[in-house]
Amino acid sequence: MDIREWNERIDSFIKEENSVIGRTVPVYRIYCQDGTDRSGGGFYNEMVTADTIGRFARALGDSNPLYSDPMYAKEGIYGGIVAPPLLECCICSTFIGGRMPRVRGISVYDGGTKWERFVPIRPGDFFTAQTEYLGVGEVKREEAGSRLLLRSHEIRLTNQTGALVSRLTARSLITCASPEKTGDVGSAVKKPAPESSAGKKHETTGSVIGNNAGPVPHLFSTRPHYSQEQLEAVGRNLDAQLRGDFRRGSDPRYWEDVQAGEALPEEVVGPYDESDGSALMAAIGAANAFATKWAAVRYRKGSGLIDPETGARRHPIDRHMSDAAARAQGLPRAVVSGVHSQALLAKLAGDWMGDAGFLCSLDCRCRRPLYFGDLSTQRGYVTGKSRNEKTGDCYVNLRLEGVRQDGIVHTEAEAVVRLPSRTE
């Protein structure tokens, strides 16, 4: 296939996809094995329980009693337990599939979601959802010919009272490697992949745990090795999170007391490992096993995702749990789910704003992968504040980012939080 035909196929794909902009479909039950239309994404948990909330809080390492202690929560602004921000990722999937360009060298990644939130989520809430297709746009075209596309869907979550609880703009990045990169120039033979640097041991540093020096993680297929000093620094930060040192809690943070440029306390997690990934999977309920897993993998003969030890097919979701499965998909090691990185930024905002605050929106962009073995520092600062003259509501704008141990920003976001006022 020459470059002209390759570009024509991608252009045709974009045109066809955008011809159905505005199409709406219901979100299906993720555990259905029938012929239901899957193009709208899937429900993980239609009903939220106190256990759903508790599992998600634990998956974030969040010990806020507002999410777990009925007696504590009863005395708060909501009169009971509410969910941490971004529990929506446990209700429905924001990673929605669809058609792909008819060319080789296609990869799909989580591009980040804009989470707009209107009312708190409580135990007993029951949800319906609908997805509207927003189409495909081109983000970048490189000189080498590769193209980067962005596919978007809008998901609306409505609770049992008919109230719109959340509106999510889910985005997927579609990378189209040029024929030169895939070896598809007039031939179906793919160029051999370069040799990896497996087996190399390396040390890294960054932010709270040190300076922003060190090798780039994706150059290595082994997990980073940290010094004892780095690990002790991480442990001190985790101890502080567990004690609630960074959490405003029941002490209101008033809008009048906030100033532009004010920094949020840094929160560190990691090194990310299987326990962390399993906690998120348990909270969401995203994975299948045995026969229902087989229903998903039996048609993926061309995916090339074969376990190197057993020879059996693996589900693509395993790239979020297994280094071997990730490498079979062309990654250096297991990659952290994008919603986990986004939810950690929401936790940072939640700790800072306190129980009386409300995270109205979090517009996230997944910039680089966060891999198993990496550390992540969540940090941010205040960029502005405003008051709605009609309603009197007071808002603060935040800039947030998750940073790897090598100083690379893997996830960034703009947040809007509503804070109480001293005049209320």
| Residue bearing the bigger pLDDT, 189 or 48 | 48
Half-sphere exposure of 27 (CA within 13 A, CB side): 26
- pLDDT tens-digit map of 278-291: 999 999 988 888 98
pLDDT average, residue stretch 128-154: 91
Domains and their CATH numbers in the chain = 1-48+87-185 (3.10.129)
What proportion of the chain, given as a percentage, has pLDDT over 90? 70
d(CA 84, CA 95): 20
pLDDT of 35: 52
- pLDDT tens-digit map of 310-365: 888 888 889 999 998 888 888 899 999 999 999 999 999 999 999 999 999 999 99
pLDDT of 213: 38
What proportion of the chain, given as a percentage, has pLDDT over 70? 86
- pLDDT tens-digit map of 220-256: 579 999 999 999 999 999 999 999 999 999 999 999 9
pLDDT of 198: 35
- pLDDT tens-digit map of 26-62: 887 766 555 555 555 688 999 999 999 999 999 999 9
Residue among 277, 395, 415, 419 nearest 345 (CA) = 415
Q: Which long-range contacts (CB under 8 A, 24 or more apart) does 34-41 make?
A: 38/97, 39/96, 39/97, 39/98, 39/131, 39/133, 40/96, 40/129, 40/130, 40/131, 40/153, 41/92, 41/93, 41/94, 41/95, 41/96, 41/129, 41/131, 41/153, 41/155, 41/170
- Residues 206, 212, 215, 216, CA torsion sign: positive
Residue among 124, 48, 122 nearest 285 (CA) = 48
pLDDT of 83: 98
pTM: 0.89
pLDDT of 353: 98
pLDDT average, residue stretch 360-383: 98
| Residue bearing the bigger pLDDT, 144 or 216 | 144
pLDDT of 184: 55
* Greatest mean pLDDT range, 114-123, 194-203, 205-214: 114-123
pLDDT of 192: 38
Q: Which two tokens stand for residue 60?
A: 């974030």
Going by pLDDT thresholds of 50, 70 and 90, the confidence category of residue 196 is: very low
pLDDT of 277: 97
- pLDDT tens-digit map of 166-188: 999 999 999 998 887 655 554 33
d(CA 331, CA 376): 19
Residue 201 scores a pLDDT above 80 = no
pLDDT of 28: 74
